[in-house]
Structure 1
Amino acid sequence: MTDLGTRTAGRPGALRRAAPALVGYAAVRALGLLTLALWSAARDKSAYTLLTARWDSLWYTRVAELGYGYEVRLPNGDVHSDLAFFPLLPWLERIGAAVTPLSYADAGFLVAVLASLAAAWGVFAVAEHVYGRRAGVCAVLLWAVLPVGIVQSMAYSESLFTALAAWSLYAVLTGRWVTAGALAALAGLTRPVGLAVAAAVWAAAVVAFVRSRCTVGPDGARGPERAPGDGARRALGMLLAPLGAAGYVLWVGHRTGNGPLGYLDVQAGWRNGFDGGVAFARFVAAKFTSFPSALAGVGLIAGVALLVWLYVVCVRQRQPLALLVYAGTVTVLSLCASSYFGSKPRLLMPAFPLLLPLAVALARPRASRSALVVGGVAVASAVYGAFWLNGSGPP
């Protein structure tokens, strides 16, 4: 049943309610950018170039400027094709460059900044809906201070995807099925992991349908569980949810001539795929061949254990099914990819429901104590982000 009374984002003053979270988020990101600028200047590097013109951001801007069709053939036979990159961010970069004096890279940075704020608001809306306003603020701050939080300010697609995913999940929680499906479709045009958003919409819709069919009143008659047309809206939302990802994957298959699964061939050219985590397990095991690298191996195992523990806590706290399905799918797809092991932390960044148990815990102490904890972690995150981007950075 559509719960009109809990549509927080639709009530007057929604922005005012989210303001502390958004201000805190902006402050954390500003600290990260300032630290990056100072660190980069000391190393005679351009912080703005690190944010807009390296790694994946170069592929996105090339697609925005020239369209698809570029590939790099490596000496070992691998083929890196720009078809691996989903189109929504390049489309937005192209629009931004067309209607403003900005370059494609500048437009990508602007999209990232605006999308990160939209993502922060979406995370707040979801967390507030489930656990209350203070937990919502804490959830946003925790998302901001992630060790790889600097990626939220890069011309990458993580912030855009997280914004679409968070608001799609919020729409599911508040019974806005068509909105949820449309946003899920857009998320599917942003990153391959858009499958997780579609899966969340479908899971929640199926459960809602079953509950609406099984509810019986005291006299044996069916209770008034559904608003008029709710079933049709739910079905339309389910229909819309997978269209973005499915449409792009099918288009890539048609373009390459390799059929519906042609996108998998494109990913294989990057030595990327889904192997159930076998390659990642081997990567971790290889760290224990020498003492210094063994410490990294221990850290990786501890990180995976933390993710599993957080997900178990999410289940025990009875998070809504849509959040559990989404977070679980993002986590599995990220950890079980067969390549780019160094990028896994940023691939996990959209799985913000995993932070909700920590947000609830952080919301319990006095505000001054929570602020001290977040402030300390924010400084550490800013320093790590500057060090990371000035080094190898995200692949």
Structure 2
Amino acid sequence: MPRLHSALRRAAPALGLFAAARLTGLLVMAGWAWRIDRPPRRTLARSWDSDWYMLIAEHGYGRTLTWPDGAVQSDLAFFPLYPGLIRAVTAVLPVTSGSAGLLISWAGAATAALGIYAIGELLYGRRAATALVLLWGLLPHSIVLSMAYTEPVLTAFAAWSLYAVLTGRWLWAGALSALAGLARPNGIAVAAAVLAAAGYSALKARGDARGGRLEEADREARGEARERDRGKARERDRERHREKARGRHRRLWAGAALAPAGWCAYVLYVGFRTGDPLGGYFAVQRGWTSKFDFGVGALRVVRDIVLRPALLPMVLAILIVAASVVLFALLVLARPPVALLVYTGVLVLITVGGSGFFESKPRFLLPAFPLLLPLARAMTKARPGAAALVTVALAGLSFAYGTYLLMLSPIAL
């Protein structure tokens, strides 16, 4: 507890800035909603995909929509953790499903911000961590962090799973990754990060052990081994060290095995429910026009946007996705830990290479907070005036565009 209190004190400025950013965005949106006579709470709780989650929480799975062209959209496309949490909250609190969804999303956003700060502080210090959290709260699509959507919950589990990897807590990393895999389809990125980091750590440990054996052989050749091995106490110390290493090894692989369990369990559940164990879930996603085609469908959409007049969300989606690719290249050059690199790379790959709902791609990138690490580090090195100007510009864009997406945009988030 003392360490937790100390961590919260260090993170308090970052969390305060994040809360101020999101609260201001909510007030701007609410002001416009009242102006056009729309209830802000219902807009946040029952817009677009939020309504699907509320219906699953209230009635369970089984709802489908059939369109004139024969396309069938099933609610099995939506992962179960978020509606399960909503049902749990409404079972113990006298609130509606919409209010429960908002409480969960807001708690998830705050928990995610704390986890993002912890990672930033661990890698680059308090100033960079504070800038990282603030930038995440001021993204153009950050209004989603205040809605009844699953991105805040996924990001919370992802951030703390990655922090557990970076600090060597492999069982925590695997358990949190499994929960992330139950939150959203792109939660598989967390499992990929845990597995990659576990493999890298195991290879590094094997190399270190081999280097230690070579060093021991060299010492024996110089006659130093006899002095080192003298006495039973030293032998007991070595045995304890080996036992600790075996324990770390077991925890590492247990965490790695646990990491993809949530995602795989739900995909198999949908498969068995639809009669196709391995392909059923992906067939459900194709009903929503969502599939991974290495970016072919996305390129067609980009071509249409460039050649014809397009809505503002489509244009900004192109710019945000392009910026994410550039930021990922900068992140690679910064040589972050393997877990962060794999996690971010998988999220970017899924977003860029997937087809369907092009306007939603910026939302899919919200959990990819490591993309902001190069910008956060640059802000800590910039002059205060320049950093403040960038922050104000991002805040204006975030608040105005978030209001537009909820109040004026004719297409889904």
TM-score range, shorter chain: over 0.9
Q: Match for residue 5 of structure 1?
A: none
Q: TM-score, normalised by structure 2?
A: 0.89
Q: Match for residue 109 of structure 2?
A: 116
Residue correspondence of structure 1 range 341-356 to structure 2 within 5 A: 341-356=358-373
Residue correspondence of structure 1 range 254-265 to structure 2 within 5 A: 254-265=272-283
3-state DSSP class of the match of 1:217?
Answer: helix
Which residue identity is paired with 1:194?
Answer: G
Contact conserved, 1:288 with 1:294, CA < 8 A, in 2? Answer: no
Contact conserved, 1:275 with 1:336, CA < 8 A, in 2? Answer: yes
Indicate yes or no: 2:131 matched with 1:138. Answer: yes
Which residue identity is paired with 2:362?
Answer: P
The root-mean-square deviation of aligned C-alpha atoms, in Å, is: 2.2
Aligned pairs, number: 387
Query: Structure 2 CA distance, aligned partners of 1:76 and 1:99?
Result: 43
Query: Structure 1 CA distance, aligned partners of 2:411 and 2:311?
Result: 21
Which residue identity is paired with 1:99?
Answer: V
Q: 1:33 aligns with which of 19, 26, 44?
A: 26
Q: Kindly tell me: are residues 237 and 26 of structure 1, through their superposed partners in 2, closer, same or farther at Cα, counting changes over 3 Å?
A: same
Indicate yes or no: 2:266 matched with 1:248. Answer: yes
Q: Kindly tell me: are residues 203 and 151 of structure 1, through their superposed partners in 2, closer, same or farther at Cα, counting changes over 3 Å?
A: same
Query: Structure 2 CA distance, aligned partners of 1:10 and 1:170?
Result: 15
Contiguous gaps of at least 5 residues in structure 1: 1-8
3-state DSSP class of the match of 1:381?
Answer: helix
Query: Structure 1 CA distance, aligned partners of 2:3 and 2:188?
Result: 27
Residue correspondence of structure 1 range 1-395 to structure 2 within 5 A: 12-215=5-208, 216-217=211-212, 220-221=215-216, 227-290=245-308, 292-293=309-310, 302-367=319-384, 369-391=386-408, 392=410, 394-395=412-413
Query: Structure 1 CA distance, aligned partners of 2:178 and 2:362?
Result: 24
Contact conserved, 1:288 with 1:297, CA < 8 A, in 2? Answer: no
Contact conserved, 2:109 with 2:152, CA < 8 A, in 1? Answer: yes
3-state DSSP class of the match of 2:340?
Answer: helix
Which residue identity is paired with 1:46?
Answer: P
Query: Structure 1 CA distance, aligned partners of 2:373 and 2:356?
Result: 28
3-state DSSP class of the match of 1:80?
Answer: strand
Deviates more, 1:218-227 or 1:33-42: 218-227
Q: TM-score, normalised by structure 1?
A: 0.93
Q: Kindly tell me: are residues 160 and 231 of structure 1, through their superposed partners in 2, closer, same or farther at Cα, counting changes over 3 Å?
A: same
Deviation of 1:248 after TM superposition, in Å, equals: 0.5
Which residue identity is paired with 1:193?
Answer: N
Contact conserved, 1:310 with 1:355, CA < 8 A, in 2? Answer: yes
Deviation of 1:374 after TM superposition, in Å, equals: 1.6
Q: Which string of whole-angstrom CA distances, capped at 9 and with x for unpartnered residues, describes residues 306-355 of structure 1?
A: 22221111111111010010001001111222100110110111111000
Query: Structure 2 CA distance, aligned partners of 1:372 and 1:43?
Result: 31
Q: Kindly tell me: are residues 227 and 375 of structure 1, through their superposed partners in 2, closer, same or farther at Cα, counting changes over 3 Å?
A: farther
Identity %: 47
Query: Structure 2 CA distance, aligned partners of 1:12 and 1:95?
Result: 28
Query: Structure 2 CA distance, aligned partners of 1:67 and 1:251?
Result: 14
Structure number with the higher helix fraction is 2
Deviation of 1:363 after TM superposition, in Å, equals: 1.3
Which residue identity is paired with 2:306?
Answer: F
Deviation of 1:376 after TM superposition, in Å, equals: 3.4
Contact conserved, 2:186 with 2:347, CA < 8 A, in 1? Answer: yes
Contact conserved, 1:70 with 1:81, CA < 8 A, in 2? Answer: yes
Which residue identity is paired with 2:95?
Answer: L
Q: Kindly tell me: are residues 70 and 297 of structure 1, through their superposed partners in 2, closer, same or farther at Cα, counting changes over 3 Å?
A: closer
Q: Which string of whole-angstrom CA distances, capped at 9 and with x for unpartnered residues, describes residues 38-72 of structure 1?
A: 01111111221211012111110111111111111
Deviation of 1:367 after TM superposition, in Å, equals: 4.7
Deviation of 1:384 after TM superposition, in Å, equals: 1.2
Query: Structure 2 CA distance, aligned partners of 1:182 and 1:377?
Result: 35
Which residue identity is paired with 1:256?
Answer: T
Contact conserved, 2:140 with 2:402, CA < 8 A, in 1? Answer: yes
Query: Structure 1 CA distance, aligned partners of 2:259 and 2:313?
Result: 39
Q: Which string of whole-angstrom CA distances, capped at 9 and with x for unpartnered residues, describes residues 19-53 of structure 1?
A: 11100000000000000000111111122121101
Query: Structure 1 CA distance, aligned partners of 2:300 and 2:122?
Result: 40
Contact conserved, 2:11 with 2:117, CA < 8 A, in 1? Answer: yes
Contiguous gaps of at least 5 residues in structure 2: 218-237
Query: Structure 2 CA distance, aligned partners of 1:294 and 1:43?
Result: 21
Which residue identity is paired with 1:73?
Answer: T
Deviation of 1:10 after TM superposition, in Å, equals: 5.2
Which residue identity is paired with 2:215?
Answer: G
